[in-house]
Structure 1
Amino acid sequence: MYFPQDYKYHKEHTWAKIEGDMAVIGITDYAQDKLGEVLFVDLPEEGSSIKQNEVFGSVESGKVASDLYAPLSGEVIEVNEELADSPELINESPYEKGWMIKIKIEDPAEIENLLDYNDYESILE
């Protein structure tokens, strides 16, 4: 399994790539592997707000439907529209093409609540 070392991770298997005052958010390689083939993704609309540790959407596979937990709070500024027609991008490329949303970070201090690469890897053991 692959986990980018410069990303931050939520214990519920979402990731955040911090880019200044914005963050790109998706699910980890571990999560997509456990879900199996992703068939559908329910994501918030642009302009809506998400809150750290709260559900911001869901992902469905042939095995299960799973809630998505927000790694950070903020306003959704972009949604990956490709996932509506090609949810399998999450399986094929969870950190690049399979990103889910981009947010404007509400409180940069929340980043300290997330796990780094080593901490995330250790909770999977």
Structure 2
Amino acid sequence: MTKFLISFPASAMDVPADDMPAVAAASRAVIREAKTAGVYVFGGGINAGIAPVMVAPDGGCTAGTHPQTREFDGGFCVLELPSRDVALQWAARLATACRCAQELREFHYDPES
């Protein structure tokens, strides 16, 4: 089984405030289904209220991010699935629930992780 990251940036979710409770309920329902199916690994949303820091190899910390991840925010989940086709189906379910496109990425297999 392969682990897949399904995610979206916060800016992709352009939903009226009145619709957010329905979107939250729909997306939570899909996550409950993934848990029931035994494919859910973990998920959540990036807390935009806490600034990221860079941790250097020597342990030193500085404020900020890698330039290419400056806009990393939004929601994500990791599912462990038998194929990319199945991952596409779960991503489509989440896209419908969240009312925004989802990005699908496959984790590289590492027997130590």
TM-score normalized by structure 1? Answer: 0.25
Larger radius of gyration: 2
Greater strand share, 1 or 2?
1
Greater helix share, 1 or 2?
2
TM-score normalized by structure 2? Answer: 0.27
Higher relative contact order (Cα pairs below 8 Å, separated by 6+ residues): 2
